[in-house]
Structures are given as C-alpha cells and as structure tokens.
Chain A
Amino acid sequence: MRTLEKLTRRIFLKGSLWACALFFWNLLRGSSKAEELHTYEGTNFIGKTREGKFKNFYINFWKPMRRIDGKAWKLKITGLCDVPQSFSLDQLKSFNTISQSSRMKCVECWSARATWSGFPVSELEQIVRPQPEAKGILFHCGDEYKEYLTREEVNQERVLLVHSMNGEPLTDAHGYPLRLIAPSKYGYKNPKAILKMEYVSEHQAGTWSKIGPYSPDGTILPGTDHPLEFNKEPRRISGGEITDY
C-alpha cells in the first residue's frame, strides 16, 4: 500500500513538472506569436475559395490566415544582404511602377489573366545590396507558406513584386499587401501576402515542393491548359509564360 502511495505521488509530481514546463513553453510561444500577429487586424480569415467572384480567378492559401493590416505591415528583408531593412507599403509604392498583363497558370490545370502593377526586385536590391554568396530568396508569407526562387529567377524580365491587380490594390484574397508575379512559373511559385524576403546561400524547397509532387523549379511545362475565362476549354500550351491568349 505504501509503495502504491509512493508511486502515485511520484507520478503526480512528474506530471506537475511536465504541466509547468508546457505552460511556460506555451507562454513563450504565445508571446512570439503575438509579435507576429501585431500586423493583423480583425478576425476575418481568408483561405481557399473558388466560389462567387473568385469563380474566374481561384484562390488557394496554404493555411487560412488573418487579414493583414497594411498600415502596420512592413516588408522585412533579411539574410545575406549588406543593408537588411524593412519597407512600409507607402515606401514600396513610391518605386517606379510597372504594369503588365500576364496569365497565372496553376499547377492544378486552371489559369486566369490579370493586369499586375508593381516593381522589379532589382529596385529593392539596389538598396539592400545582396551579398555575392546570396543565391536565392526565401519568401515567408502570412499563411506560413514559404517559397524559394533563385536570384536569377527573380531578376528575370516580367518578374514583379506587385501591390495592385487590375488597377486596384491587391485584395486580401489575392495576396494583399504584396505578392510576387513570375509569369513563366506555376502559381505556387508566385507567393502571396509576403511578410519577409530572406537572402540565402543554398537552394531551399518551398512548402508545396516539400510535401507534394510539385517540382522545386516550377516552370510551366508544355501540356494542356484550362483557362477559367474561356470556360475551361482545353488549350495546348508550349511551356513557359502563356502569351497566346
């Protein structure tokens, strides 16, 4: 009986210690989460949708995320650059704006066209000055999605960091306040709601490439497309950016 009491007390003490450890761990995690969340406002979440007004341009987020408060939001540039810093949305909008019409091709077969306005990554790189060993950029997004593109890829012609779509500021669903547009790559290589761009020295797999059958390179391959605005009627595509329609 005495042995059983001892055992029960030991289990109770051990359990209490674990509970305390867990409590403090969550407390610490909670405070860092709170720091991240200060850029969000309200309780509305956005996630995957293909209904209503999104019927002609599907939306797919990695995880449902809170709307971003553009006034508090700043784009952080970190990693292997000489002058890491943060930029407000107004600062980014002061760069020379380029507008282009390009088609977003999803790896899930649909596509849709829009006019995007923004600036080339080189505008930022003139200020933050990436170091020679920086081979690529890891994009950290509001929905915890991560995507990687090489510096060569992000500096290609027609690759833009955009803040507007069809003449209006990006909506939350389309990646407010800032997203990347790389027209020769599948949609998953066009990260939305970017919080941070980190210059890194080695190739890294993005979220989808890590868990799904999606290639790390993400170049649009020759095959068949189903454009939403043409009622998904199949069209042959030659690979790379779709320019024919």
Chain B
Amino acid sequence: MFKLSSLAFFLLLSLTTKLSIASEMIKIPSGEFVMGDDNDRYAVSQHKMHLDEFSIDRYEVTNAEFAKQFPEHSFWENAGNHPVTNVTWQEAQSYCTNLGKRLPTEEEWEKAARGEEARIYPWGNKRPKKKAHPFYSGLIKRRVGLNKKDSSPYGVRDLAGSVWEWTASEAEGKKVTRGGLWNFHLEYEFSKTFDCNLIDPSSRLPFLGFRCAR
C-alpha cells in the first residue's frame, strides 16, 4: 500500500514538474523601470523607460519543447529539460510564432530580469559568492530552473545563468542577445541584468537559446 502511494506521488510530482516547465508564462505589469548602466561601457546608459504589460516565459524553451515543433531537432539522452541551443534567430522566432507568441524585446527582457528596483542581478545587487564551475572552459547545461537563486523579482528564472538568449531587438545588423552562463571561464559568470551581446542571426551556437513573450 505504501509502495503504491509512493509511486503515485512520484508520478504526480514528475507530471507536475513537466507541466510547470512547459510554456508557463509570467505577467509583467505595465510601468516604468530603469534600463542600462552608466558604469558598464558595454551597456546602454542608464535611463527610465515605460513598458506596457506583457508576459514572458518563466523558463527558457527546452529541448523537448522545441522538438515537438521541430522533430528533426536532436539532443543528448536525458537532456529533454535542458535549454534548447544551436538554433538560429529565425527558428527561435518561428517557434514562438507557432505558439501565438514572439521573442521578447531586449527592453522586456531587462525589465523581467531586474524589476522596478534596477537590480544588478535578478536576485539583488550582491555578487554570488559561490562559483558554479570555476575551472571548466566549456558550457555547463542543466535542467531549466535548477538554480533556485537565479530568480527575478517577478519569478522569471535563469536570466543570469544557464544560457544566453535571442531577443527580437537588433543593432548593427545583428540581433541583441541577453543572459549568461553557469561557468566562470574568461572571467565571466552570472551576467548582470544589463549585459548584452550582438550576434549574427544565422548563427547556431551551443550557448545560445531563447524564451518567448506575448
């Protein structure tokens, strides 16, 4: 009897986890927020900005979710819940469009990450003490939402670590990417909420995934 109830509990738990990862969106209220940073020469200068209400995926799109729309997408065994990467900007955009969504603009992404308090990291302004993988040069991919600390004021996850993400915004003929990685190689770990990079939209990179907005 005990075994049966335990089994039912774990089945329910696993189902709930899967359901919660699949396309859960968070509503970001209309209002002003602070964008950019004056101390970082790569970020836009700090300014206030108003955004209407929008919704954004709580988690990055996973391999399993992406493969439902693009069955030719292959991934390592047991990596179904890892963020999907190696996708072009157009593929990311198509995925969102097919679900009645779109890629977030970089402004939306930044507001979802830092809230209205102009946080440096999604969790606040303190640098993380613990370095996730300080001596590894490569990419560490894990299940989306695993790092409970990497959560924004609205509860959006994995905005500082995990993988970089495509956005709808562009500059200099490239697309703006936002986000960060788990590893510390090249003196870099856990991006700040205003960090951004420009990448050619046709690129497929193992550290670059996406999430959708609406």
Docked CA distance A213–B206 (Å)? 18
Task: Confirm or deny: B92 has a beta carbon within 8 angstroms of a beta carbon on chain A.
Answer: no
Provide the residues of chain A in CB contact with B139, threshold 8 Å. 215, 217, 219, 221
Give A105-138 as 1s and 0s: 1 = Cβ < 8 Å from B's Cβ atoms. Answer: 0010100000000000000000000000000000
B-binding segment of A45-53, A57-65, A234-242: A234-242
B-binding segment of A22-30, A92-100, A174-182, A222-230: A222-230
With beta carbons under 8 angstroms apart, the residue of B138, B187, B199, B203 that contacts A224 is B187
Specify the main secondary structure of chain A where it touches its partner.
loop
Provide the residues of chain B in CB contact with A219, threshold 8 Å. 139, 205-207
How many of B's residues come within 8 Å of A, CB to CB?
23
With beta carbons under 8 angstroms apart, the residue of A216, A217, A223, A238 that contacts B185 is A223
Known interface pairs A219-B139, A238-B197, A239-B164; A109-B203 also in contact (CB < 8 Å):
no
User: How far apart are B190's CB and chain A's nearest CB, in angstroms?
Assistant: 12
Provide the residues of chain B in CB contact with A225, threshold 8 Å. 186
The residues in B between 172 and 197 inclusive whose CB is less than 8 angstroms from any CB of A are 177, 180-181, 183, 185-188, 197
Say yes or no: A240 contacts B164, CB within 8 Å: no
Provide the residues of chain B in CB contact with A215, threshold 8 Å. 136-139
Provide the residues of chain A in CB contact with B138, threshold 8 Å. 214-218, 221
Say yes or no: A186 contacts B207, CB within 8 Å: no
Chain B residues with a Cβ under 8 A of chain A = 42, 135-139, 164, 177, 180-181, 183, 185-188, 197-199, 203, 205-208
Chain A residues with a Cβ under 8 A of chain B = 107, 109, 186, 213-219, 221-225, 234, 236-240
